[in-house]
Chains A and B, each alone.
Chain A
Amino acid sequence: MVQNSLGRWIPQQFNGRACRPYCDPFSVQPNVQRASRALRRVNPGQSKLVSNLIDAVIASGLKDGMCISTHHHLRNGDALLNNVVRVIDTLGIRDITIASSSVHPVHAELIPYIHSGVIRGFECGVNGLIGELASKGEIHCPITVRTHGGRARAMMSGELKVDVAFIAAPCCDLYGNMNGCSGPSACGSLGYAYPDADYAHCVIAVTDNLQPYPVTPISIAQTQVDYVVEVERLGDPQKIVSTTTRITSDPIGLMIAKHAAEVIEAAGLLKDGFSFQTGSGGTSLAVADNVRKKMLAAGVKGSFGSGGITSYFVDMLEHGLFNTLFDVQCFDLEAVRSIARNPNHLEISSDMYANPFNGGGVVNQLDAVILGATEVDVDFNVNVNTESNGYLLHNTGGHSDTAAGAKLSIITVPSIRGRLPIVRDAVTTVTTPGETVDVIVTERGIAVNDNRPELKQELLKRKLPVKDIRQLQQEIVALTGQPKAVEFEDDVIAVIEYRDGTIIDAVRRVKD
């Protein structure tokens, strides 16, 4: 075990790979060439179409011990990953590593295949039951959690080698040109699948909407695709995108949102060229709504909105409040409709979105980002991976990427959840380092990182309820009491990789 700069004990090796301890957000430099894969040749007259998933897996040459990937644009409606693993099991292949862009609760169906040895581990974060069971020691599969930008980096640097990528293609032609804009499984942007198309040794397009050649627009092109396979359905359309995403009606969430928007204004960012990102949660959307009203009132014309895109951002684009949307993932049907028709609503790859090791990602151009947390601590470190019970339940997403990139990163979080205080002495797991977090907004006060003294002064001047983070913590704990600490065993079930590939924390098995 070694200690990283945040004092977290991390293993020297995990899942066969040496762990480099995290030191700071910006100084690690890449020292490798871009990864490559073998050239291939497809001759005139040669068909890429295979008749079913079994034939596709056979054609890909997948063998024991190899690594596969899918993307998570179908979210909790995804059927592809479960189907692929079922086929792999049927073919008697074992010891597969899953390196999808994310794993959702629907993939709890994979658990029997972890027990039976078909799946040996996850080179990606997991949402839901798989992480919970791993935390309890009921399944054994090493998990390496990566940020969205970090995953693109790991594939580009060759650290993460995907042998076969199964790319769910909601609209796809016979030669493998695809987009996510139409079809029963339309999901909009395919941004997280771009690195897979570029770097996986074999790329299989899987579609439930096979079209004659050529399909346009082209998100992922024929030149990257080895095989095309048609299936009955890619997923459950009801669960792929929300039909609507809604602003919270919770008065506490609304109060937090109001303060968050006031912080953005106080930081002096609400001027022409403003760029902004929020998630799809009810409080995030309420922040977006408040920011929208402030932009309209001040006549501000923003430059871009980014990240997962919702109808609220589409509306802001259409009303001229942004020039451009950089969309790595569509969160609702309105976003899917918009990306298909509006040339200023751009699909971008996870590489362009958030990779720290390229010519500069979109996150580096962000003015303000609104982020959530399961816990925060007095050093402004943020946990989004584990809950207060110690279970690994959530993937990182773009959290650490946008926090590092944006000029102003704001965490919006209720001060109390399920009777537990959310501001801790030390978070259970560090996902995002406090150095990259500027402000924590709760309903009981706004805490400003000491590295932003000028912002703190401005908020005080505007009579916003600014509190020292320890004072805020004391007020909360006075209400809730100090919860009993969760106890952990020594064995590490997952490592949390920072966006640069260093290990920022390790998740251990929870004591019974």
Chain B
Amino acid sequence: MSDSGFVLRRSLLYVPGNMPSMLQNVPVFDCDAVFIDLEDAVPLNEKDAARNLVSRFIATYTERNKEVFVRINALDTEWGLDDLKKVLPSLPDGIRLPKADTPEIVERLDTLLTEMEEALEVEIGTFKIIPSIESALGVINSIKIARCSSRVIALAFGAEDYTASMEIERTKSGEELFHSRARVLWAAKAAGIQVIDTIFADVGDMESFRTEVALVKNLGFTGKSLVNPRQIDVVHEVFAPQANEIVYAQQVIEAIIQARKMGTGVIALNGKMVDAPVVKRAARVIKTAVSQGLLEYELDDEVIYGAK
């Protein structure tokens, strides 16, 4: 599997796992991924029913036009393991793991997923993991968590539970999250994986939402968890590359194509060196632009990584 950095994950929408009327619309929304929720959105007396519903839904959603992650209940609850057993045979893309406070918790999930993959006879590594960093302990351990399994494709910061663990209020301006966001970002970037910011709960306040999306994009987050489909467009607008970025990215790709023809992976463009990190960055800009209809461009993985 190639570097997951090239799968766009800007907009990741939570969908309650106990609501058929909302699940049926999953194929319709133009977010990059969904988190189908079996955890907080589902009342205790509906855990079983939601598990069945979600499993059936994913199994019938064969023409996938976005990634499907399931937020299971934490593995130390009575539901977590059953969630996995029920939904994995329907082949979601991965699991969003709540309360991933330590690398051991994530490693345990990794082991369970491997066992399930063997039982289901699917390729090892099929199921990805997005750990939720949502406590002081999780923030401290995020550096290890980001590197504890090759299944971990992104860290997802969860500010609601984090602020609760800190015994503080969450504000719209978010100063109280600055340090934790920065640490989660470092952890993910150092591990070469994606990093997804927390939800913004006030669906009516699109202006503050837009401000927050712009902030986290500038900090380095690659995407954002969303609570309402109305938030998708704003994320895509803020994450849209500028025209000059697109032009430069195309120049980088053209340059690296020339370089590969010459049998090298490094080349100069306008006096600056173009190497793997620059190419990856350009590829991300181009994929984002293409997905938003700003550009028509076929980008082959071989161009990014070189022929094997």
Say which residue of B25, B228, B293 sits within 8 Å of A443 (CB atoms): B25
Which residues 458-483 in A have Cβ within 8 Å of B in the complex? 462-463, 479
**A255 and B293 contact, CB distance less than 8 A:** no
Mark A434-465 against chain B: 1 for CB-CB distance below 8 A, else 0. 00000000011000000000000000001100
**B24 and A252 contact, CB distance less than 8 A:** no
Say which residue of A249, A252, A462 sits within 8 Å of B28 (CB atoms): A252
Q: If the complex has contacts A249-B230, A463-B293, are A255 and B28 also in contact, measured as CB distance less than 8 A?
A: yes
**B24 and A255 contact, CB distance less than 8 A:** no
Which residues 230-254 in A have Cβ within 8 Å of B in the complex? 249, 251-252, 254
Say which residue of B24, B27, B229 sits within 8 Å of A251 (CB atoms): B229
**B230 and A251 contact, CB distance less than 8 A:** yes
Report the separation of the CA atoms of residues A251 and B11 in the bound assembly, to the nearest whole angstrom.
15
Report the separation of the CA atoms of residues A210 and B194 in the bound assembly, to the nearest whole angstrom.
72
Q: If the complex has contacts A251-B29, A255-B29, A463-B293, are A416 and B24 also in contact, measured as CB distance less than 8 A?
A: yes
With contacts A251-B229, A251-B230 known, what are 5 further pairs, Cβ within 8 A?
A: A251-B228, A255-B229, A258-B233, A416-B24, A463-B293
Q: Please name all residues of chain A whose beta carbon is closer than 8 Å to the beta carbon of B293 when the two chains form the complex.
A: 462-463
Mark B40-63 against chain A: 1 for CB-CB distance below 8 A, else 0. 000000000000000000000000
A354: min CB distance to chain B, Å: 34
Q: Which residue of A255, A416, A479 has the most chain B CB atoms within 10 A of its CB atom?
A: A255
Among residues of A, the one whose C-beta sits closest to the C-beta of B24 is A479
Among residues of A, the one whose C-beta sits closest to the C-beta of B293 is A463
Which residues 4-55 in B have Cβ within 8 Å of A in the complex? 24-25, 27-29
B243: min CB distance to chain A, Å: 16
Q: Please name all residues of chain B whose beta carbon is closer than 8 Å to the beta carbon of A258 when the two chains form the complex.
A: 233
**B230 and A254 contact, CB distance less than 8 A:** yes
A5: min CB distance to chain B, Å: 36
Among residues of A, the one whose C-beta sits closest to the C-beta of B230 is A251
Which residues 415-430 in A have Cβ within 8 Å of B in the complex? 416
Report the separation of the CA atoms of residues A479 and B229 in the bound assembly, to the nearest whole angstrom.
21
In the assembled complex, 9 residue pairs joining A and B whose CB atoms fall closer than 8 Å, in A order, are A251-B228, A251-B229, A252-B28, A254-B229, A255-B28, A255-B229, A444-B28, A463-B293, A479-B24
Q: Please name all residues of chain B whose beta carbon is closer than 8 Å to the beta carbon of A416 when the two chains form the complex.
A: 24
Q: Total interface residues on A, using CB and 8 Å? A: 12
Q: Please name all residues of chain B whose beta carbon is closer than 8 Å to the beta carbon of A479 when the two chains form the complex.
A: 24
Residues of B within 8 A of A (CB): 24-25, 27-29, 228-230, 233, 293
Among residues of A, the one whose C-beta sits closest to the C-beta of B232 is A251
Among residues of B, the one whose C-beta sits closest to the C-beta of A476 is B24
Report the separation of the CA atoms of residues A88 and B206 in the bound assembly, to the nearest whole angstrom.
56
Q: If the complex has contacts A249-B230, A251-B229, A255-B229, are A443 and B24 also in contact, measured as CB distance less than 8 A?
A: no
Q: Which residue of A251, A252, A258, A416 has the most chain B CB atoms within 10 A of its CB atom?
A: A251
B227: min CB distance to chain A, Å: 11
A269: min CB distance to chain B, Å: 20
Among residues of B, the one whose C-beta sits closest to the C-beta of A462 is B293
Report the separation of the CA atoms of residues A47 and B293 in the bound assembly, to the nearest whole angstrom.
70
Q: Please name all residues of chain A whose beta carbon is closer than 8 Å to the beta carbon of B229 when the two chains form the complex.
A: 251, 254-255
A211: min CB distance to chain B, Å: 44
**B230 and A252 contact, CB distance less than 8 A:** no
A425: min CB distance to chain B, Å: 21
Q: Please name all residues of chain B whose beta carbon is closer than 8 Å to the beta carbon of A254 when the two chains form the complex.
A: 229-230
Among residues of A, the one whose C-beta sits closest to the C-beta of B28 is A443
Report the separation of the CA atoms of residues A463 and B228 in the bound assembly, to the nearest whole angstrom.
24
Report the separation of the CA atoms of residues A265 and B183 in the bound assembly, to the nearest whole angstrom.
45
Report the separation of the CA atoms of residues A443 and B24 in the bound assembly, to the nearest whole angstrom.
11
Report the separation of the CA atoms of residues A249 and B228 in the bound assembly, to the nearest whole angstrom.
10
B104: min CB distance to chain A, Å: 39
Report the separation of the CA atoms of residues A255 and B231 in the bound assembly, to the nearest whole angstrom.
12
Report the separation of the CA atoms of residues A254 and B29 in the bound assembly, to the nearest whole angstrom.
11
Q: Please name all residues of chain A whose beta carbon is closer than 8 Å to the beta carbon of B29 when the two chains form the complex.
A: 251, 255
Q: Please name all residues of chain A whose beta carbon is closer than 8 Å to the beta carbon of B25 when the two chains form the complex.
A: 251-252, 443
B131: min CB distance to chain A, Å: 28
Task: Please give me the 3 A-B residue pairs with the lowest Cβ-Cβ distance, nearest first.
Answer: A251-B229, A443-B28, A251-B230
Report the separation of the CA atoms of residues A251 and B229 in the bound assembly, to the nearest whole angstrom.
6
Q: Please name all residues of chain B whose beta carbon is closer than 8 Å to the beta carbon of A249 when the two chains form the complex.
A: 230
A258: min CB distance to chain B, Å: 8
B288: min CB distance to chain A, Å: 15
Q: Please name all residues of chain A whose beta carbon is closer than 8 Å to the beta carbon of B230 when the two chains form the complex.
A: 249, 251, 254
B38: min CB distance to chain A, Å: 21
B53: min CB distance to chain A, Å: 14
